[in-house]
Amino acid sequence: MVQKAKILLVDDRPENLLALEAILSALDQTLVRASSGEEALKALLTDDFAVILLDVQMPGMDGFETAAHIKRRERTRDIPIIFLTAINHGPHHTFRGYAAGAVDYISKPFDPWVLRAKVSVFVELYMKNCQLREQAALLRLQLEGGGQTAGDPKEPAGLLAELSARLAAVEEQAEALSKQLDDESADAAAVATAAHLERKLTGLRRALDALEPGAGSGTAPLPSQN
């Protein structure tokens, strides 16, 4: 069973959180509420999130300050942030949002379909990255176990074949997602994230191919998971 991605919704107004939940419920992912920047940072200490929807105008710690804290933490710095704001203060305000680390900036009232579509792209990218990490972990076990994982009776050749098949499925899905992003003229940040995912997939494929019989006696380095 594929684990659902978590989406963090940050807004000090309960009615806004309720509206976001209504819009994003169709994605069938886990929606987590936070009514302040402090509450959002606390949630990020223990859970991994695919994307954060962050209100700019909040009492106390506003969205810009919250985003700055998120980007300073190694655990959370790569989580995409979509800023939501009810007031358009002009280019300078928008620039401040991007400078704080936002991948997108949407003014209220926003189009529900557009917001749902944007969030779904980052959820898909997150799920592909999770699958990639799983494949890398299996490959690492293969390398460290000398061709056989602990408690696994499979022969090395059989395990390599299974790993290759799983990786091929992820590669196919990533390629389809990249084509979809190109066709829909998606945000530059989403396209860049997809390209990064494809590079990691290529590195993992090379490492796996190097383990195939007849590929040489050297041990291929594992691709970076950063």
Query: Same structural domain for residues 91 and 15?
Result: yes
Residue 221 falls within a domain, yes or no?
Answer: no
pLDDT digits (tens, 9 = 90+) for 98-129: 666 677 888 888 889 989 998 998 998 888 88
Query: Same structural domain for residues 92 and 157?
Result: no
pLDDT digits (tens, 9 = 90+) for 61-99: 999 899 999 999 998 988 999 988 876 665 566 666 666
Provide the domain count of the chain. Answer: 2
CA distance 148 to 21: 45
| Sign of the dihedral defined by the CA atoms of residues 62, 66, 68, 69, in that order | positive
157 contacts 214 by C-beta, under 8 angstroms? no
Q: Which domain holds residue 187?
A: 120-211
Of 110, 134, 158, the one marking the end of a domain is 110
Residue 36 falls within a domain, yes or no?
Answer: yes
Instruction: Please give the mean pLDDT across all residues of the chain.
Output: 77
CA distance 124 to 184: 15
For residue 143, give the nearest of 133, 156, 154 by alpha carbon: 156
Measured in residues, the chain has a length of: 226
Query: Same structural domain for residues 19 and 105?
Result: yes
Query: Same structural domain for residues 22 and 45?
Result: yes
pLDDT of residue 157: 60
Question: Token pair 């978590």 is at which residue?
Answer: 6
Structure tokens at 120: 């779904």
For residue 50, give the nearest of 16, 8, 14, 97 by alpha carbon: 8
CA distance 164 to 39: 42
Backbone angles phi, psi at 55, to 5 degrees: -70, 140
Residue 224 falls within a domain, yes or no?
Answer: no
**Residue 135 banded pLDDT, cuts 50, 70, 90:** confident
63 contacts 104 by C-beta, under 8 angstroms? no
Query: Same structural domain for residues 49 and 139?
Result: no
| Percent of all residues in the chain with a pLDDT value above 90, rounded to a whole number | 32
